[in-house]
Each structure stands twice: as structure tokens, then as C-alpha cells.
């Protein structure tokens, strides 16, 4: 029990003292996850809305694939991205393996199905006649979709929170794709794994505390925005 308390104390000490190594890990974690979620929102929100309102062959299969992607194990994502980015892979020419760009790509692959699926479910809860009425009034399809998205903006915000939560706490994919290289691709989750394997439980707990605080702070901010818009 003593080393647990020491780990918690050390975590707060690292934050208050602005330890350079820890600050670099925190900033990289936030950068990778924030960029990944922003890209996932750009892809997933419109895709979810389109899947909800459009009728096309094999639509149910596509939706089933999205739902499957929502529960896709991160290590599988890491394996797939690694294979694609490897030198002999189709995108090996990008040289993104063991880089920040590769880590962002892996997290985008994780977050897109989550944001797409939640957006899809929210749009499907809107009466389809509302969408058809907007089109009947002369709106273009993208304008009608924009109106629908404005109607479910709180659900979209919830999707963003869920997407961020899934990638900021993810370890398997970023470790496989990023390589956990000190000073380059080491983020909070991979650092916790490394310190635990080395037996540095106090440091692992400290980094875990920082991860929890960071995740809670970001989600608390988004939740305040969400709740403010409902009042």
C-alpha cells in the first residue's frame, strides 16, 4: 500500500514540478490524440449522417462493418496499420512506421468507427420525414445533412468525448505502430507499460495518475459544454 501512496505523491510532484520528460510525454499524448480525434470527426460525422439517410445496396453490411469497427481490438488495428506501413507494405513509401504520423493514423482508425456509429445512431433517431421536408423546401443534400447534424449536436459532442476517451487510453496500437521510442513516440500509456515491466511501480502509478487527471480534465470540459447547451 505504501508504494501506491508514494506513486500518487510522485505523480502530483511530477505535475507540480513540470518535469521536462513527463511534460514531453503529456504534450505528445495530447497532440496525437487531439489530431486523431479531429481527423476522425471530419471523416466520421459526415459518414455517419450519410449512412443514416442514404439508401444504397449492401447498406446493412456497411453498417454492420461500422458497428464491428466500434469494438475492434486496438492490437488488431496496430497489426493492420503496421503491415500497411511496413517497408514491404502498400504504404511503406510514406515511412510512417515508428513515427508520430503513424500513431495518429492508428488512432484515427480506432476513433472513426466510434464517431461514425454514434452519429449514425443519432441521425436515425430523427424522423426521416424531417429530412425529406428540408429537401422539399429546396435545400441541397449537404444543407439538409447540416441541419440534421445541428439537431444532434449534443450527440455529436458525446461521440467526440467517446472517441477521445478511446484513443487517449489506448496502448496496443500506438505501441506497435510507434515503437515506444523515448523522446519521439512515447506517450503516457506506453510509458506506463514500460515502467511497469521494469518494476518501477511508483513511476508507473505516477504516470497513470497523470493520465487519469488529463483524461478527466478534457472530458469534464467537454461535459460542461454539453450540459451548458442543454440548459
- Phi-psi label, residue 89: left if phi above 0, alpha if psi -120 to 50, beta otherwise: beta
Could you say which residues of the chain have pLDDT below 70? 1, 3, 225-226, 228-231
Asked if 22 and 207 count as a contact pair (C-beta separation under 8 A), the reply is yes
* pLDDT value of residue 111: 95
What CATH number should be reported for the domain whose range is 2-226? 1.10.3720.10
- Residues 197 and 148: beta-carbon distance below 8 Å: no
Position 198 scores a pLDDT of: 87
pTM of the entire predicted model: 0.89
- Residue 129, pLDDT score: 85
pLDDT, one tens digit per residue, over 27-80 is 999 999 999 999 999 999 999 999 999 888 999 999 999 999 998 899 999 999
pLDDT value at position 135?
Answer: 84
- pLDDT for position 77: 94
What 3-state DSSP class applies to 98?
Answer: coil
pLDDT at 225: 67
Supply 91's cell numbers: 504504404
Alpha-carbon span 65 to 53, nearest angstrom? 17
Which candidate, 115, 58, 109, places its Cα nearest to that of 83? 109
Grid coordinates representing 32 are 496525437
What is the rounded distance in angstroms from the CA atom of residue 223 to the CA atom of residue 51? Answer: 27
Cα separation values, 197 from 9, 33, 194, Å: 21, 24, 5
Q: Is residue 189 a contact partner of residue 211, using CB atoms and an 8 Å limit?
A: yes
Pick the closest to residue 188 from 75, 13, 29, 9 (CA basis).
29
**Cα–Cα distance for residue pair 2/159, rounded to 1 Å:** 39
Amino acid at each position: 500500500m505504501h508504494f501506491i501512496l508514494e506513486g500518487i505523491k510522485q505523480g502530483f510532484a511530477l505535475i507540480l514540478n513540470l518535469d521536462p520528460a513527463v511534460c514531453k510525454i503529456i504534450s505528445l499524448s495530447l497532440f496525437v490524440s487531439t489530431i486523431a480525434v479531429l481527423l476522425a470527426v471530419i471523416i466520421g460525422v459526415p459518414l455517419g449522417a450519410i449512412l443514416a439517410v442514404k439508401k444504397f445496396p449492401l447498406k446493412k453490411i456497411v453498417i454492420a462493418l461500422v458497428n464491428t469497427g466500434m469494438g475492434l481490438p486496438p492490437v488488431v488495428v496496430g497489426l493492420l496499420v503496421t503491415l500497411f506501413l511496413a517497408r514491404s507494405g502498400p504504404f511503406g513509401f510514406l515511412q510512417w512506421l515508428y513515427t508520430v504520423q503513424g500513431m495518429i493514423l492508428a488512432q484515427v482508425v480506432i476513433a472513426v468507427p466510434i464517431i461514425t456509429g454514434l452519429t449514425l445512431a443519432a441521425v436515425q433517431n430523427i424522423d426521416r420525414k424531417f429530412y425529406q421536408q428540408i429537401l422539399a423546401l429546396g435545400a441541397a443534400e449537404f444543407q439538409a445533412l447540416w441541419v440534421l447534424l445541428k439537431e444532434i449536436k449534443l450527440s455529436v459532442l458525446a461521440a467526440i468525448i467517446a472517441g477521445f476517451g478511446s484513443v487517449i487510453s489506448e496502448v496496443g496500437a500506438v505501441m506497435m505502430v510507434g515503437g515506444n521510442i523515448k523522446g519521439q513516440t512515447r506517450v503516457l500509456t506506453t510509458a506506463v507499460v514500460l515502467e511497469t515491466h521494469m518494476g518501477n511501480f511508483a513511476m508507473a502509478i505516477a504516470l497513470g495518475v497523470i493520465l487519469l487527471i488529463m483524461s478527466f480534465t478534457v472530458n469534464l470540459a467537454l461535459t460542461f459544454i454539453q450540459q451548458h447547451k442543454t440548459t
